[in-house]
Amino acid sequence: MSKEFDQILREINKQNKDLHNIDVQVSKALVKDICDLKKSVKTIETKIVLMEKVLNQLFEVINNLTIFIDEAEDIANSEDLDDEEDWTPYDERNFPYGDDNDKEDIGGDDYWSSHEDDS
């Protein structure tokens, strides 16, 4: 009976060692998987921070463009553009170029040459 008892005890020790080896292998694999997950999470966090910066810059650009467009629409929609600026004698926006009616108003080209000074 002692032989059987020793054999059973050896078998239990052998199984215990096998279980311990399996436990060690599983725990090593779990530790490796956890490390990989930590690296992945860290990478995702850095990418999210970068995306946040880019989105904030994009939001700022869109906001500035919206303000610019609103101001441009306000200027385009205002009815009194000329009232906002002072008139200068050099302002030729309201005068047409090359209008032949000016010559007819004063009598044409011959008007000045045909009228001599009466004094």
- How big is the CA angle at 15 (ends 13 and 16), to the nearest 5 degrees? 60
**How far apart are alpha carbons 101 and 9 in whole angstroms?**
126
pLDDT values of the chain reduced to their tens digit, one per residue, 119 residues: 688 888 988 999 998 898 888 888 888 988 999 999 999 999 999 999 999 999 999 999 999 999 999 888 888 777 555 555 566 666 666 666 665 555 555 555 555 555 555 55
**How far apart are alpha carbons 53 and 94 in whole angstroms?**
50
